[in-house]
Each structure stands twice: as C-alpha cells, then as structure tokens.
Amino acid sequence: MSGIVAYGTYIPKYRLRLSEIAQMWGKDSLEIEAGLKISEKAVPGFDEDAVTMGIEAGKKAIGMAEIDPSRLQSVYFGSESHPYAVKPSSTTVAQYLSVGNNYFTADLEFACKAGSAGMQVTFGLLNSRSIKYGLVIGSDAAQSKPHDALEYTAASSACAYILGNSKNEIIASILEMSSFSSDTPDFWRRDGAKYPSHFGRFTGEPAYFTHIIQEGKDLLAKSKLKPSDFAFCVFHMPNGKFPRVVAKKLGFSYEQLAASLIVDKIGNPYSASSLMGLASVLDIAKPKQKIFFVSYGSGAGSDGFIFETTEELAKLQKKTIPVLKQIEDKIYISYPEYLRHTHAI
C-alpha cells in the first residue's frame, strides 16, 4: 500500500486582473471573463521562478509530514518552465531542502502533467519497495506571449507531495492509476523560443477533452466504480470552463468538482494546476472519501488516479494553511508591473 503522506502548496501573492490585460489590448473584459470563467491570475514576484516556488511548497510538505528531509529517497520535479535548459531543477530543490545525496531524481517535462507523471514514477518506486519516501513537485511560472490568448490564463504556483508506503502515515491511499497518451501536438515550444505556440481551439478537441474523457472512462472501468462512488473529482484546469464541461460529460456533479476549482481565482499554473486542485480537496476532505483525479498535458496525455482518504488526514489538516486562504492573501498589480515581474520587458 502506498499513498500521500503530506502536501504543501505555494501561491505567489501577486495577482493580475484579466480586465487589466483586456484593457491593454482593447478587448471586452466581461466577455473574456465569462468565456474563460477566470477573473484574475497569480503572478510570480520579480525574483521568483519555478524552482524558488517549488522549494517553498516542498518546505511546507516536509513541515506537515514532520520528517527529516534526509529520509526522502527520491525527488522528481515537474515543470515546463525550468529556469535552465541544461541544469536540473530537482537537485537544486533537493540541496536547499537538505535531502542529502542518496536519492533518485530527475526533471520531468510533459506540459501540464509533469507533476502527475512524477507521482506515477514515485508510486512505482514505493510499490517495488525501492524507497520509503519520495518527494514530487509540480511548479510553473507559466510563459505567455503578450497579446496571445494564453496571456489571460497562464499563471504561477507550486505544489509538493510527499509519498510513502507506511500505512499509519498515509493520508490518502492510491487505489488505481493509469494513463492515456497520444502524439497530439496542440501546444509546443521549440528549443530557443521564448514563448509557447498553440493551435487555438484545437487545444479543446481533440486534445484536452479526448484525453481526459478517455482516461476518465478507462479509470472508471478499471476500478469498477461509478461517479456516484466519489466525494470529489479533480481535473486539469486550463481555464474555468473546460473542467466543468469534462466533469459533466463523465457523469460528475458540480458539487463533486467545486472544491478543486482553484483556476477561477489564480488561473492555470500548468504543472501545478491539477495538483493544486487535489490539495484544495484534501484541505476539506473527510476520512474514507474517494477522490477521482485526471491530469492533462499537451503533447498529449492524461494521468488518472483514484485516491481514498484515511483517518490520518484529519490530524494533518490542522498543520497547513488551506489553499483557499492562501488565494485570498494577495496584492494586485498593473499590467506594466506584470511585464516587469515576468521579465517580458
């Protein structure tokens, strides 16, 4: 048996209202906000990047678990905005967190599902008894070209999970996992390019919806469970509209989805998106509740997990600042300030 032992999240304080972006480019902000179901997004500080945010999330996870970081035997860092093209982010994070030197590690990149891919790798190591604890981080300071559609949603934050296989420490056990993948190039950034490119509406169908829905169906079939068996569902959130649509198509209610919808207030932090949604659910979940989780990464693929919370969760919920409370700790900035924060000027 393996599962989640602890988690930590980090959301930068700075926020940019979508109305600021729309005003800059002469667009109708009310129409854009209604279509995306997002009102503002989280923006990194001038001196923040995927690694610094990942470190902050990792520190919180270690604090919740109350374990010596040297006991972590693997560190996987998922992002599509690694500060260096050639130099691992994972070792920088591990060094800062005092993990030591004896650990499995790698940087992962699979668009927005790099973090959930790290979870799968870590669960494999746990189930083979190669490790007892592993750290997984999904973190992004998402890039977007000014005046591109992505500018309204690309956001920043980090989420860290400590996974383990000691039954009396697990707060959410994993019951099933699987993946659905294909070569569907809906979103990409060539080497040396500053900003990513995308196929616009093509990123919805056949990219996002095809992969998440098929993985969702496969996961339900594999587990022999029905949507009604779950207390919560979590999906990758490129905007506020897509997860609402996919939940309905798979047979989940809005009430099952609502707790995970952090995208409405912070935007899409890419590799941290679905992981942050899961953390928001864990903040309020009760023991013995099942959570349906499906991530998505352009390129393309979806990772699916079924978690079940344990009695240990209630003990650790008191040790964390809930995601929703972190979201409300914010400072609004102007569009020119946003450009400076993201080094666009």
Looking at the annotation, which residues are catalytic?
Answer: 80, 112, 236
Cβ contacts of residue 314 below 8 Å, gap of 6+? 286, 287
**What would the two tokens of residue 213 be?**
């829905």
Do the bridges between strand 156-164 and strand 187-188 make them parallel or antiparallel, or are there none, so unpaired?
Answer: unpaired
A 10 A CB-CB count for 288 gives: 11
172: β partners? 4, 309
Q: Which of 154, 80, 88, 158 is nearest to 114 (CA)?
A: 80
Q: Which helix (H) or strand (E) holds 158?
A: strand 156-164
Q: Which of 292, 172, 144, 272 is nearest to 227 (CA)?
A: 292
A 10 A CB-CB count for 58 gives: 30
**What would the two tokens of residue 178 be?**
């699987």
**Interior CA angle at 203 toward 201 and 205, to 5°?**
80
- Give the type of residue at 229: D
Q: Which of 308, 316, 65, 84 is nearest to 175 (CA)?
A: 308
